[in-house]
C-alpha cells in the first residue's frame, strides 16, 4: 500500500516577510526500514530564532529516527528528544537565541499503511476518512482549555474565541523539558481513499470543512497542497501566518476518480458520467435489437429460398403403369414390336425383316410379320391383310417410338377422288410384284 501513496509538501509566507516553518519527507527511512517518515515544525522566536529552531528540530528528529530500531513509539519519542537536544546545544553556543523554540509533528507510516505519530505544540495532524475530517493529535495551545471552560460555564463562547491568549502554547520544543508530548499508543490503519495532512497553524485560516472539500476534489497530493495554499493566499488576510503542509494521499478504490479535473466540478462530473453511461447503454440495446431483426429476417429469407430451390423429383412410373394396353393388334405384330427395333415417321414404318402389308382404315401399313399363304393360288387370290391399329406405346419407350395413326396420311375411298385411284394402282402393282415373286420362288423349288 505504501508504494501506491503519493506525498507532497509546500508552504507560503503569508503576511510575514520571513519563513519560520520547516518540513521533511523521507519516502524510505533506511535499508532496514521501508517505511516513510514525515516531519513538520513551526518555529518561533523572531526572524532568525524561529527559522533556526524549526530547521534544527526537523534535522535532529530525522537523523535520530533513521538510525534507531525497535518499537515505533519508542523510536518516535527518542527522535523527539534528539530534536530537543539539537536546539539545546545550539542555544548553549548562541545565548542570544535563548527564547527560540518550535512545534513539531512527526508521522511514520509502515508498508502496510499503519500510521504512528508524535507531536508537541499546536501543529494539527488531520485524517480525512470516508468524507469525515478528524484531528488525530492533541492541541497543546490554550484554545482547548478555553473551550473546556465554555463547557463548564466559566467562559462564554465569544470570550473563548477572542481571548488574546488563545494561541499561546503550553508545550514546545525549545531545548528544555517538554511538558506535553502526544505519542500514539496504537497505530491508525489507513485505507483506500484516506488522506493525511500535517500542517502549521497558518493553514487553520481555512476551516476543517473547507480543507475536507479540497481533499474530496483533489486526488493527487501535489494538487491538494497547491489548492489549499492557493485558497489561503487568495484571502489576503493581514495577519496571515506562515502556512506549511504535507499531504499524504492513499489510492482511491474508484479508479474513475483519477480522471476528474482539478477544478471544482465535483457536482458536474458525476452527472456527465451518468449521461455518457446512459447513452452507451442505449446504443448497446439498439445494436442488439438491430442484430436480432437482421438474424430473424435472414432466417426467413433463407428458408423461403430453400423451399423455392428444392428440386421436384418425380418418381419413375411403375412398369405396369407405363405400358398401355394395345387394342386390335394381332399377337404376332405385338411381339415384333417388342423384339425388334424400328423407326417411325409420319409417312411409313420400315422394319428390318420381311414385312407384310396391313391397312389402317384404307391406308397400307407395313408390318414386321408376313403371313404364309397356304397355296400359290390362294396367295394370288387373297387381298392384302387389313388390320386396324390404334396408337400404342411400344413397351415403355419414348413418344418417338409410339405408332401414331394421326400422323399417317389417311387416304379416302377410291370412289371419292382421283387420289384413291392412284393409291389403288400402286397397291395393285405391289400385289402383282409380290405374286410374281412368289411364282418365281415356286418354280425354283
Question: Which DSSP state fits 243?
Answer: E
Give the pLDDT confidence score for residue 290 in this predicted structure: 86
Residues 27, 33: Cα–Cα separation, whole Å = 10
Three-state SS for 266? coil
Q: What is the total residue count of the chain? A: 445
Average pLDDT value for residue range 135-150: 95
pLDDT tens, residue by residue, 214-255: 999 988 999 999 999 999 999 999 999 999 999 999 988 754
3-state secondary structure of 325: coil
pLDDT category of residue 418 using cuts at 50, 70 and 90: low
**Residues 275-287: tens digit of each pLDDT:** 445 567 777 888 8
Q: Residue 87 and residue 250: Cα distance in Å, rounded? A: 34
The model's confidence at residue 289, banded by pLDDT at 50, 70 and 90, is confident
User: Rounded to an integer, what distance in angstroms lies between the CA atom of residue 69 and that of residue 32?
Assistant: 9
Tell me the C-alpha distance between 318 and 396, whole Å.
Answer: 10
CA-to-CA dists, residue 355 to 91, 385, 406, angstroms: 158, 12, 22
Please state the rounded mean pLDDT for residues 329-341.
45
Task: Inform me whether the pLDDT recorded for 179 exceeds 70.
Answer: yes
Model confidence at 377: pLDDT above 60? no
pLDDT grade for 178, boundaries at 50, 70 and 90: very high
Q: In the prediction, which pLDDT does 148 show?
A: 94
Task: Answer whether residue 193 shows pLDDT above 70.
Answer: yes
C-alpha cell at 305: 429460398
Query: Does position 8 have pLDDT exceeding 60, yes or no?
Result: yes
Q: What would the pLDDT profile of 105-119 be if each residue is shown by its tens digit?
A: 999 999 999 999 999
β-bridge mates for residue 189, sequence order: 114
The two beta strands, 182-183 and 343-344, are unpaired
Measured from the Cβ of residue 329, the count of other Cβ atoms closer than 10 Å reads 17
Q: What is the pTM of this model?
A: 0.58
- For residue 425, the model assigns a pLDDT of 54
Percent of the chain clearing pLDDT 70 (strictly above): 61
pLDDT of residue 113: 94
Of 45 and 19, the one with more pLDDT? 19
Give the number of other Cβ atoms within 10 Å of residue 262's Cβ: 13
Going along the chain from its start, the domains and CATH numbers come out as 2-266 (3.60.40.10), 327-444 (no CATH)
Does residue 382 carry a pLDDT above 70?
no
Query: Is the model's pLDDT at 298 over the cut of 70?
Result: yes
- Calpha distance 393→399 (Å, rounded): 8
Amino acid at each position: 500500500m505504501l508504494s501506491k501513496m503519493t506525498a507532497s509538501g509546500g508552504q507560503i509566507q503569508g503576511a510575514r516577510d520571513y519563513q519560520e516553518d520547516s518540513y521533511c519527507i523521507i519516502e524510505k527511512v533506511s535499508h532496514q526500514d521501508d517505511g516513510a517518515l514525515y516531519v513538520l515544525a513551526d518555529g518561533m522566536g523572531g526572524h532568525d530564532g524561529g527559522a533556526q529552531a524549526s530547521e534544527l528540530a526537523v534535522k535532529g528528529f530525522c537523523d535520530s529516527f533513521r538510525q534507531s530500531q525497535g518499537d515505533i513509539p519508542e523510536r518516535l519519542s527518542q527522535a523527539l528528544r534528539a530534536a530537543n537536544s539539537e536546539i539545546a546545544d545550539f542555544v548553549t553556543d548562541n545565548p542570544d537565541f535563548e527564547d527560540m523554540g518550535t512545534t513539531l509533528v512527526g508521522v511514520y507510516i509502515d508498508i502496510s499503511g499503519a500510521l504512528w505519530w508524535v507531536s508537541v505544540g499546536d501543529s494539527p495532524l488531520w485524517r480525512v476518512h470516508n468524507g469525515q475530517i478528524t484531528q488525530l493529535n492533541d492541541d497543546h495551545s490554550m484554545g482547548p482549555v478555553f473551550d473546556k471552560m465554555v463547557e463548564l460555564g466559566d467562559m462564554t463562547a465569544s470570550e473563548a474565541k477572542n481571548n488574546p491568549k488563545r494561541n499561546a502554547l503550553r508545550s514546545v520544543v525549545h531545548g528544555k523539558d517538554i511538558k506535553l508530548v502526544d505519542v500514539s499508543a496504537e497505530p491508525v490503519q489507513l485505507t483506500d481513499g484516506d488522506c493525511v495532512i500535517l500542517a502549521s497553524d497558518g493553514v487553520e485560516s481555512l476551516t476543517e470543512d473547507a480543507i475536507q472539500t479540497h481533499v474530496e476534489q483533489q486526488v493527487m497530493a501535489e494538487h491538494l497542497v497547491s489548492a489549499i495554499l492557493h485558497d489561503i493566499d487568495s484571502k489576503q488576510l493581514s495577519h496571515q501566518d506562515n502556512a506549511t503542509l504535507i499531504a499524504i494521499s492513499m489510492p482511491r478504490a474508484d479508479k474513475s476518480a483519477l480522471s476528474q479535473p482539478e477544478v471544482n466540478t465535483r457536482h458536474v462530473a458525476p452527472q456527465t458520467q451518468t449521461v455518457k453511461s446512459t447513452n452507451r447503454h442505449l446504443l448497446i440495446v439498439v445494436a442488439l435489437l438491430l442484430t436480432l431483426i437482421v438474424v430473424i429476417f435472414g432466417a426467413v429469407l433463407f428458408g423461403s429460398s430453400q423451399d423455392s430451390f428444392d428440386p421436384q423429383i418425380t418418381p419413375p412410373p411403375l412398369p405396369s403403369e407405363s405400358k398401355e394396353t394395345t387394342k386390335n393388334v394381332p399377337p404376332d405384330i405385338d411381339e415384333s414390336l417388342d423384339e425388334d427395333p424400328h423407326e417411325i415417321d409420319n409417312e411409313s414404318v420400315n422394319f428390318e425383316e420381311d414385312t407384310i402389308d396391313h391397312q389402317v382404315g384404307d391406308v397400307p401399313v407395313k408390318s414386321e410379320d408376313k403371313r404364309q399363304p397356304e397355296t400359290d393360288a390362294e396367295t394370288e387370290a387373297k387381298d392384302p391383310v387389313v388390320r386396324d391399329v390404334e396408337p400404342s406405346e411400344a413397351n415403355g419407350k419414348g413418344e418417338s417410338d409410339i405408332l401414331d395413326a394421326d400422323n399417317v396420311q389417311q387416304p379416302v375411298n377410291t370412289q371419292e377422288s382421283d387420289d384413291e385411284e392412284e393409291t389403288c394402282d400402286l397397291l395393285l402393282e405391289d400385289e402383282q410384284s409380290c405374286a410374281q415373286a412368289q411364282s418365281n420362288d415356286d418354280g425354283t423349288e
